[in-house]
Amino acid sequence: MNTVATAATPPPPPMPSSSKTLRVVIKGRVQGVFFRDWTIQTARELGLNGWVRNRRDGSVEALFSGDPTAVDEMVERRCRVGPPASAVTALSVFPSEDDPGQGFQRKPTV
């Protein structure tokens, strides 16, 4: 009797959804210099979800969510510089569980 044992190979585990969400507060000369419009355009180019808004204290707040590499690029490289007329003096970064929604949009000032 010739039997061939074939073990059923279990399917590979599902890939974890690699997504990262960070909330940032940017201070400096960041209002009145098209920082929000620049943020929306840049975040969309990087394929990120989230939002951006002015804060009454003169800062800009944003939530970035998506591919960890793209989120890091946005936060660590792009937001630290901002658009040409801006002058970023501080950047605070916080991990977030907030729902970024779909796409990237502007929210009202808080």
Please pick, among 2, 23, 49, 54, the residue that the annotation labels catalytic.
54
Please pick, among 36, 44, 49, 77, the residue that the annotation labels catalytic.
36
Candidates 44, 47, 66, 63; CA nearest to 55 is: 63
Our answer to whether residue 2 is catalytic in this structure is no
Q: Is 13 exposed, middle or buried (0-12, 13-18, 19+ CB in 10 A)?
A: exposed
Our answer to whether residue 54 is catalytic in this structure is yes
Q: Cβ neighbours of residue 64 under 8 Å, at least 6 residues apart?
A: 21, 22, 24, 43, 48, 49, 50, 71, 74, 75, 100
Residues labelled as active-site residues: 36, 54
